[in-house]
Amino acid sequence: MVKSRNVIFQNKFEKQGHNIVKYIRIKSPQNAEKLKKQILLQIEAIKQNPKLFPKEKYLYTKRGLYRFSLVLKS
């Protein structure tokens, strides 16, 4: 069994994510749901194995706690 880790988000992340999906939903409900699904999949992947993702160089700590993942590229 793979150990799942906690992922901590700032309230700002959740609020902005919700607003982005809401904005996209106006023109394309399908794309909004696709984005939401991809974000949730990436979050789950980070929980399962955070070392697959690069360290965030601007939030560096000795423990390497901060990682990032690109969800969509325009």
Which residues, 6 or more positions from 62, have their beta carbon under 8 angstroms from its beta carbon? none
Which residues, 6 or more positions from 73, have their beta carbon under 8 angstroms from its beta carbon? none
Q: 5-16, pLDDT tens digit by residue?
A: 777 777 888 899
Q: Is the pTM of this model over 0.75?
A: no
Q: 14-64, pLDDT tens digit by residue?
A: 899 899 999 999 999 999 999 999 989 988 888 888 777 777 777 666 555
- At residue 27, the pLDDT reads 96
- At residue 7, the pLDDT reads 76
Cα angle vertex 66, ends 9, 37, to 5°? Answer: 50
Domain boundaries, the chain: 11-59
Q: Which tops the pLDDT comparison, 4 or 45?
A: 45
CB 31, CB 65: distance < 8 Å: no
Tracing tokens 């990436």 back to the chain, one arrives at: 42
